[in-house]
Amino acid sequence: MSVKDELVSLIIDAVKELSDQDDVELPADLGHATALFGENGFLDSMSLVSLVVSVEQGVEDRYGQAVSLADEKALSRRNSPYRTIGSLAEYAAEQLGQG
């Protein structure tokens, strides 16, 4: 499994955990193309904050490397890394030096 695929799976786990904790309603299928935030996304801004924190912790646990997925670069990108599970995975991979 590639790092990006691992990250997609890690994000899906984090989304499921978020759904348990914060009562977020999930789409039927969760995968690379699932919209997270913005157009057709199912997260509101607070849920996005929770997800980003949870993914950062998950990445650190798995790869032993602290990453910041909410720095100014991410927030000002024309194509937000928070659009889909896949785009967030790609951004996390970049931060890990695996992009």
Partner 1 sequence: MDAPVTVITGARKGIGRHLAERYARLGHRVIGCSRREPDWSVPGYEHYSADVSSEAEVKRLFAEIRKKHGAVHHLINNAGIASMNHALLTPASTVERVLATNVTGTFLASREAAKLMKRGRYGRIVNFTTVAVPLSLEGEAAYVASKAGVEGLTRVLARELGSFGITVNAVGPVPIRTDLIAGVPQEKIDALIGRQAIKRYGELDDVANVVDFFLRPESALVTGQCIYLGGV
| Residues making contact with partner 1 (CB under 8 A) | 46, 50, 53, 56-57, 60, 66
Contacts 24+ apart (CB under 8 A), 25-30: 30/85
CB 3 within 8 A of CB 96: yes
* Minimum CB–partner distance for residue 48 and partner 1 (Å): 14
Give residues with Cβ within 8 angstroms of 66, minimum separation 6.
Answer: 56, 60
Which CB, 2 or 57, lies closer to partner 1?
Answer: 57
* Minimum CB–partner distance for residue 78 and partner 1 (Å): 26
* Minimum CB–partner distance for residue 53 and partner 1 (Å): 5
Which CB, 12 or 53, lies closer to partner 1?
Answer: 53
